[in-house]
Structure 1
Amino acid sequence: MCLSVRRRPLTAALLASTTCLGLLTACGFSSETGTDTGSSGSKASAGGGSFPVALTNAWGRTEVKEKPVRVATVSDGDTAIALALGLVPVITPDVEDGDQVAEYKQRAIAKLGEKELKTYDDTDGTDYEAIAAEEPDVILGVNTWDMDTDYAKLSPIAPVVTFADKKQSDTLTWQERLKTAAKALGLTEKADAVIAANEKALKDAAAAHPEFQGKTYTYSVVHPEQITYMSYADQDPGVFEQLGLVKHPRSKDYSANKNGVSLENLDELESDVLLMTYPFGDEGLLSASDLETNKLFRSLDVVKNKHFAVVPSENTLASAIAYPDALSAPWVVENLTPILAKAVAGK
């Protein structure tokens, strides 16, 4: 499942991945979004431009009577959707706790002719008054865990586009969320183009690096309480596998509920390629230097032969891998493939 959530600090987001299946998921598109595609005989979803459009959601039914111009968002993922569809949100949550705006989002903002977005402080949750003040035509909320609280207060402001079932706050792929939003915005064809562009970026990168094909990999995250074996067998295929790598056979011994690797069993990380990330810094179970000077860790063939690499978290790459969105794939490929290429080559 693809975990696309309201923007949280990277460390909190990756902490959640110890029990959720979001970390490696590049999220393939599923055909079931649970949305109603039209109202009063309208064929809005088919061509992506006819209105009114009606969408069933977990709290009722949203009707968008005319093509929206002013769009507000209630999560970072919703902001990515708006930007991917060529829309600058009139207001969006700010970036929390000193996290930087991801480079790929900043590129999209600049491409649309803006330097930065107008934001509200969401430290205490969604700022309904700030959203209302911007008089949006529609509010995107397909990437949030807070809609159960927010819907009643947002719906009087403007039509709220969100998921059809509360469980879908966790389970919808980014493609499904994008398509749901696009229906309400009259931009279905644009959404299809966005999905195709993301898929092409991954396919082109895989074709450019045939040396990745069939190499086994282990991806592990150093959390505060454990070293987490994230590439377990039941984990959905993610960006690593879309680029040609395959899970190590040992991955069958791990699952979402059994994913800790003790310091005494670091040899469990052995693979053709070992990828680690340290999103918690000094708050992790151990630092990068502590692990990489560990005698057992240094004895691993994958480490001795230099097929080991670190996926950086400070530039939001680890977060973008964990929580793919409608904008991220080309940037992830741009930043991840050089790391993988060096690791595969043993450089």
Structure 2
Amino acid sequence: MLAAPVAALSLTLTLAACGGATAPSTEPAAPASGGGSSEWTPVTIEHALGTTTIETQPERVATVDFANQEVPLALGIVPVGMSKMTWGDDDGDGVQPWTEDKLTELGAETPVLFDETDGYDFEAVAGTEPDVILAGYSGMTAEDYATLSEIAPVVAYPETPWATAWRDTITINSAALGMAEEGEQLVADVEQSIATAVGKHPELEGANGMFMTHVDPTDLSEINFYTAADTRSQFFDDLGMQTAPSVVEASGDSGSYSGSLSTERADELSDVDVIVTYGGDELIDALKGDPVLSQLPAVANDAIVNLDGSQPIGTAANPTVLSTPYLIEDYTALLADAVAGNEAG
């Protein structure tokens, strides 16, 4: 079961002063950087931090934060700079394998990598001399946005930090490049890869999932989780599953991507069929050893999917345009095994 069509973004395509109300040019940009079309219709995008207008066709595209670089790459545009990936990078070079594959396909060298360990490297971003900075999926502050905007027009997240749905990430970043129609096709292609993988695991249909994260194995007084607003939880819907009703209720209506629940209320999570986590074996052992949490059906039945963040599979729960086709078969297989464990229990 695929999720509903792309959520409506606060996004308007504005024409140049002359001419009528036609859509922006969708001619492919040159693979080496980002320009190529002789015609360009200015694009105006409203997002959570303001309104950004790209007056001229971007020739030099920079991206910050997780996975935004994948959209221009999927469109055949090589960024001049992008975030160094420390998550899902199996060889320590700062570039995830699906990105490496795409760069090879395009015959391109690795772009400048921005080290964002301690926040944005504004100097490095400025050094790439970008015409636009893509950050449709991000968590930047208003101050960050203002500083980056002094370098180039910035496309920030549409509503909530770190909660841009994968379809909307593709849509808003593609629109900023004047390639909205191509972006729609990218969404359709990813949806097809998901449908193919999910079709092999009908047991996923209707299973209740929870993404448990940032839990201290030495202090299990709080259960931390990604809320129903987070992309990882939303991805359950694409897979035929759903975020457990108890997690939806505990998420509240703040729109925040993370939440917590006192372990004293753990019995409320009895409807969780599968737990997904980055916690590793230490966390799983701690859950099994806890007198309260060990009674949760998902824990008691070993229905836990442990994603290793040092390996590519660590990113599987956070869907993106290039990583999802690369990882979806493995991720759905892990989820199906967990569902089977829960049903056996």
Question: Does TM-score exceed 0.5, indicating one fold?
Answer: yes
Matches of 1:191 and 1:60, distance apart in 2: 20
Residues 87-140 of structure 1: CA distance to partner in whole angstroms, max 9, x if unpaired? 111112323599654443333333333463322334554444433443334332
Q: Does 1:136 align with 2:130?
A: yes
Change (3 A) 1:36 1:341: same
Change (3 A) 1:35 1:174: farther
- SS of match in other structure, 2:133: strand
Letter in 2 for 1:339: L
Instruction: Name the counterpart of 1:77.
Output: 67
Q: Does 1:90 align with 2:91?
A: no
Matches of 1:242 and 1:164, distance apart in 2: 21
- SS of match in other structure, 1:72: strand
Task: Name which of 166, 181, 187 aligns with 1:189.
Answer: 181
Residues 68-100 of structure 1: CA distance to partner in whole angstroms, max 9, x if unpaired? 332122333321222222211111232359965
Q: Does 1:48 align with 2:41?
A: no
Task: Name which of 11, 14, 27 aligns with 1:37.
Answer: 14
Instruction: Name the counterpart of 2:170.
Output: 178
Task: Name which of 151, 155, 179 aligns with 1:162.
Answer: 155
Task: Name which of 183, 198, 201 aligns with 1:206.
Answer: 198
- SS of match in other structure, 1:77: coil
Instruction: Name the counterpart of 2:320.
Output: 325
Check whether the contact 1:30–1:176 (CA below 8 A) recurs between aligned residues: yes
Residues 18-76 of structure 1: CA distance to partner in whole angstroms, max 9, x if unpaired? xxxxxxxx8962223233432223656355244131315555552332x3332122333
Instruction: Name the counterpart of 1:345.
Output: 340
- SS of match in other structure, 2:43: strand
Structure 1 range deviating more: 195-204 or 123-132: 123-132
Instruction: Name the counterpart of 1:10.
Output: none
Deviation, 1:196, is 0.6
Aligned pairs for 1:1-347 within 5 A: 29-40=6-17, 41=19, 45-49=23-27, 50-57=39-46, 61-65=52-56, 67-95=57-85, 101-114=95-108, 116-123=110-117, 125-146=119-140, 148-151=142-145, 153-155=147-149, 157-158=151-152, 160-163=153-156, 167=159, 169=161, 172-221=164-213, 223-224=215-216, 226-228=222-224, 230=226, 238-248=234-244, 250-251=246-247, 254-256=250-252, 259-262=260-263, 266-271=266-271, 273-279=273-279, 287-294=283-290, 297-298=293-294, 302-303=298-299, 305-315=301-311, 317-321=313-317, 323-346=318-341
Letter in 1 for 2:179: L
CA RMSD of aligned residues (A): 3.8
Q: Structure with the greater relative contact order (CA < 8 A, sep ≥ 6): 1 or 2?
A: 1
- SS of match in other structure, 1:240: helix
Check whether the contact 2:61–2:133 (CA below 8 A) recurs between aligned residues: yes
- SS of match in other structure, 1:78: coil
Check whether the contact 1:320–1:328 (CA below 8 A) recurs between aligned residues: yes
Matches of 1:301 and 1:145, distance apart in 2: 34
Change (3 A) 1:110 1:300: same
Matches of 1:312 and 1:98, distance apart in 2: 8
Check whether the contact 2:73–2:102 (CA below 8 A) recurs between aligned residues: yes
Matches of 1:126 and 1:82, distance apart in 2: 20
Structure 2 unaligned blocks of 5 or more: 28-38
Matches of 1:196 and 1:83, distance apart in 2: 16
Matches of 2:106 and 2:178, distance apart in 1: 19
How many residues are aligned here?
312
Matches of 1:201 and 1:98, distance apart in 2: 20
Change (3 A) 1:244 1:54: closer
Deviation, 1:339, is 0.7
TM-score computed with the length of structure 1 as normaliser: 0.71
Change (3 A) 1:304 1:60: closer
Matches of 1:94 and 1:345, distance apart in 2: 37
Check whether the contact 1:90–1:136 (CA below 8 A) recurs between aligned residues: yes
Structure 1 unaligned blocks of 5 or more: 1-25
Deviation, 1:333, is 1.6
Change (3 A) 1:180 1:255: closer
